[in-house]
Amino acid sequence: MRFLDPDIVVPFLVFTIPIIAIIGGITSGIVRMLGRQRLLELAQQERIAAIQRGVDPAQLPPLTPELFGDTSPFSPYDADRRRHQGLLVGGIVTTCAGIGVSVFLAALRPDGERFLWAVGIIPIAVGIGLLISASIIRPQSGPPRG
């Protein structure tokens, strides 16, 4: 049976894994967005019902991001600093992994392949992109003094 030939099945499976991961990520983002939208609609309906019962709108709590799971225990400066550090660490790790893959494949060099090491250029480029984005979003000023 030609369909079960490993030369056909293995490449097919190799490409289905990232496709499934991408579709899963997009699906989870959509489900999360729909859940937040539904929560916002319910909170607005509750406010409307309270106003119809005669409650003063000034007495009602505001519709804040805390209601929808967007809470952060950090100040905006600390959140920016943590995001910068996360991108910086990710960029360094990814760049070093790409360099390691390139060196490994250059040393391995199976079947006389001359440019097999070039596979490592992809993670190196991703790591450099993360380092550039970390430098762009780096907090410029110190924490606010209060």
Which residue from 133, 130, 136 is spatially nearest to 92, judged by alpha carbons? 130
Per-residue pLDDT for 27 more than 70?
yes
| Residue 116 and residue 108 in contact, taking contact as beta carbons nearer than 8 Å | yes
Report the half-sphere exposure of 12 (CA within 13 A, side-chain side): 7
DSSP class per residue in 77-133: HHHHHHHHHHHHHHHHHHHHHHHHHHHHHHHH-GGG-SSGGGGGHHHHHHHHHHHHH
Which residue from 68, 49, 50 is spatially nearest to 60, judged by alpha carbons? 50
Other beta carbons within 10 angstroms of residue 63's beta carbon come to 12
Global pTM value? 0.53
> Exposed, middle or buried by CB within 10 Å (0-12, 13-18, 19+), for 139?
middle
Per-residue pLDDT tens digits for 30-81: 998 898 889 888 888 988 998 899 988 888 877 766 655 655 666 777 888 8
Per-residue pLDDT tens digits for 92-109: 999 999 999 888 888 877
Residue written as token pair 């699906």: 27
